[in-house]
Amino acid sequence: MAKQENPDDQEYKARSTALRLLARREHSRLELSLKLRQRRIEPAIIEAVLDEYEQEGWLDDARFADVYARQRMDLGYGPVRILAELQQRGVHRSPECLSEMGEEDWCQQAISLRAKRYGLTDLSDDWDEKARQARFLTRRGYAAGQVERALEARSEQE
């Protein structure tokens, strides 16, 4: 006969699993909730544990968004993609670090990414290569104006 699970065991499992996951890295509330549901923990217990962890300050969507956005910015991703990824993770507000970046900062980041990946050669005669680089920068999450500025950039040696 299989041993029936005690509700106290489920709560302990939810608490310990959530804490272990948060010790590794920041998580959004949605991410943590999904991971606990995958472990077949009852939704009511999950919500209670996550509410308590938010009150304790161990779980914070704003902090998660800031850390996540900074990591993605460091990897060369643009604002459009970062915001979309945050929304997929249940965070529907823009973190402060994205707001601090101005349009010029994003353009410079797109130019740096293009320079690192392709170099800053003149693309005025090569439409295929220009389109390829534009697709790359767009997939990385840069807005059309930022991509356009990056494609117009030239190296200072030319």
What confidence tens digit (pLDDT) does each residue in 29-69 have?
999 999 999 999 999 999 999 999 999 999 999 999 999 99
Domain ranges of the chain: 8-59, 103-152
pTM of structure: 0.86
Mean per-residue pLDDT for 97-120? 94
The highest-level CATH class for domain 8-59 is mainly alpha
- CA 45, chain centre distance (Å): 27
What pLDDT sits at residue 7?
A: 53
Q: Is the pLDDT of residue 2 over 70?
A: no
Task: Quote the Cα angle for 31-36-42, to 5°.
Answer: 130
Structure tokens at 62: 């704003």
CATH code that applies to domain 103-152: 1.10.10
Report the alpha-carbon distance of residue 87 to residue 94 in Å, rounded: 9
Q: Do domains 8-59 and 103-152 have the same CATH topology?
A: yes
pLDDT-based confidence at residue 158 (cuts at 50, 70, 90): very low
Report the alpha-carbon distance of residue 146 to residue 138 in Å, rounded: 9
**If we measure between CA atoms, which residue out of 28, 71, 89 comes closest to residue 53?**
28
